[in-house]
Chains A and B, each alone.
Chain A
């Protein structure tokens, strides 16, 4: 121990006069800290790496090597196959169908759930009415109820409405189950808007919708972005609702992916499976890496009651 610290202080004294920082950059503590962090980071990155390399290998190469070996001959064929030829049951048109289904499910679900929740959060924050808090409390506690308790009655409700296995039904389900967190998010945000602003607008004669569209909406773009991130990843990654409330030709990407990879028929094509898995993960990954800190804000808002 004494030796290492001695050599360390020696190196730092040698570097010291030139550098601006008086702190020792290579102290044993820092080496330990960064070393540990880098090892852990590699562990976290490993599955992503495995997905990428496997999806770029041909099947003979996979049979010879292991999951971590880098591809010798890079081929994009598995990607093409996963996108346009992979089979689920009798359908052999690949994941592209699931992708477009997911898009068709996601866009209206995100738009409608955010619209409803933002107006609702605004009403709760600025236009409180009697009994509002009771419903809000039920809503928040409802978020803890396991979905399994509610899925069957919802099947009945949707069937009565003629929306069971239809796209519209799934949009309603996503709106309903997105409501607790989104309402909380918007209510807290709108509560933090200075009240004077709201009062001034009322004095000037603006009503409920006027204040919402002309004052609150333009002021709260960041929170809308957070909500969009939250909903896009959440709805894209959903499996349970997709498998229950749609029929096979409307299955979202996650459900179709699972059916492709876990199908028992035929020879397992691991490279195609991994390409398909990566394709399904690309949308949320893209959202995640583009949004950066807003994503963290979204999940923190989702997790911690504010």
Chain B
């Protein structure tokens, strides 16, 4: 608070600069500095401690020859693609239903969105319990007379990632619905009137008029989903701990385990750099589009 007394006429904007110091430090030290540090050290042979001796692409070669890493990538791809498709489709359908001028809209919205307030740990643990074959869905169906019914996604290595997906979708679709609903509300009422006058059926209006108009919302939503997917960690830790075996491992867990449990920092750095790369592949084209749009608008 010592800055209050400074003559602002002389030190023009001094207070603003002081106020921005945390931002400058965060941007330069953490976001730029730490990222570059990690990328640099992914080319070294750091083991228990960071080591600055460069060894080229050794860490990456080892990374891509690890079965566990390949499974992690495969899981992330399956989880990512399914989660993008399903959360967009479900989110949009829910939003479209809520946009029909229905009663109790707030109640329904609150119900669809509340899982988003819960942590991935809570989400993972609840679904671990519901999907428990001894007491959960499998038991209920069996007790209805289907003795041979099998539904144990968390114990079957082939489908375990879909078990995680069910929980992830439950937690996250509410957010997508909210974004889509905001997009739908942003569309001019006159468009609907014009479509109705022309006698275009509702679903056609959605598919051919409304959705193309909401392109920007869809793209932004996709970027949000995608950058969230790369970070998936807590959900897997809580729901399956990466199991059975290594069947539901994900890259973020690989990074954590190699850095803090296996004391093999170099592998962790290389794996996290790969994660960064995959985010850049998504974010850069998006930023380019956004930036171009802003320039033509302004």
Q: Which residues of A does B touch, CB under 8 Å?
A: 33-34, 36-37, 40-41, 44-48, 50-51, 54, 62, 65-68, 116, 119-120, 122-124, 127-129, 132, 135-136, 138-139, 141-142, 144-154, 156-157, 175-176, 179, 183, 207-210, 233, 236-240, 244, 254, 257-258, 261-262, 270, 273-274, 277, 280-281, 284-285, 287-289, 292, 295-296, 299-300, 303-305
The answer to whether B23 touches A183 (Cβ under 8 A) is yes
Q: Is B231 an interface residue (CB 8 A)?
A: yes
Partner pick for A300 among B3, B26, B32, B182, CB 8 A cutoff = B182
Q: For residue B101, give the distance in angstroms from its CB to the closest CB of chain A.
A: 10
One of B55-63, B117-125, B207-215 at the interface: B117-125
Known: A124-B20, A209-B1, A258-B237. A237 touches B120 (CB 8 A): yes
Q: In the complex, what residue of chain A is closest to B234 when comparing beta carbons?
A: A239
Chain A residues near B168 (CB, 8 Å)? none
Q: Judging by beta carbons under 8 Å apart, are B23 and A136 in contact?
A: yes
A277→B126 contact, CB < 8 A = yes
Q: Does B51 contact A (CB under 8 A)?
A: no
For residues 5 through 31 of chain B, which have their beta carbon under 8 Å from a beta carbon of chain A? 8, 13, 15-17, 19-20, 22-24, 26-31
List, in ascending order, chain A residues with CB within 8 A of B130's CB: 46-47, 50, 67
Contact A36 B97, beta carbon cutoff 8 Å? yes
C-alpha spacing A194/B17, complex, angstroms: 23
A270 partner residues in chain B, CB cutoff 8 A:
129, 135
The answer to whether B108 touches A145 (Cβ under 8 A) is no
Q: How far is the CB of A172 from chain B (nearest CB, A)?
A: 10
B220 within 8 A of A: yes
Q: Is the interface of A mostly helix, strand, loop or mixed?
A: helix
Contacts A/B (CB < 8 Å), 30 sampled: A33-B102, A34-B102, A41-B108, A47-B115, A66-B135, A68-B140, A116-B22, A127-B16, A132-B16, A136-B23, A138-B31, A139-B31, A146-B230, A149-B275, A152-B269, A153-B38, A157-B34, A207-B15, A209-B1, A239-B233, A239-B234, A240-B233, A244-B260, A257-B122, A261-B238, A270-B135, A277-B122, A284-B119, A303-B220, A304-B217
Cα of A281 to Cα of B252 in the assembled complex, Å: 24
Nearest Cβ distance between residue A44 and chain B, in whole angstroms? 5
Contact A146/B139 with A175-B22, A270-B129 known, Cβ cut-off 8 Å: no
Q: Is the interface of B mostly helix, strand, loop or mixed?
A: helix
Query: B112–A41 contact, CB under 8 A?
Result: yes
Residues of B within 8 A of A281 (CB): 118-119, 122
Q: A47-B126, A209-B15, A254-B119 are in contact. Are A145 and B35 (CB under 8 A)?
A: yes
Residue ranges of B at the interface with A (Cβ–Cβ < 8 Å): 1, 3-4, 8, 13, 15-17, 19-20, 22-24, 26-35, 37-39, 50, 94, 97-98, 100, 102, 106, 108-123, 125-130, 132, 135-137, 139-140, 143, 170, 174-175, 178-179, 182, 217, 220-221, 224, 227, 230-231, 233-234, 237-238, 241, 251-252, 255-256, 259-260, 265, 268-269, 271-273, 275-276, 279, 283, 287, 290
Give complex CA distance A284, B116 in Å: 9
Question: Whole-angstrom distance between the alpha carbons of A129 and B12 in the complex?
Answer: 9
Question: Taking the nearest CB of chain A, how far is it from the CB of B118, in angstroms?
Answer: 5
Cα-based distance from A149 to B255 in the complex (angstroms) = 9
Contact of B108 among A37, A47, A287, A296 (CB under 8 A): A37
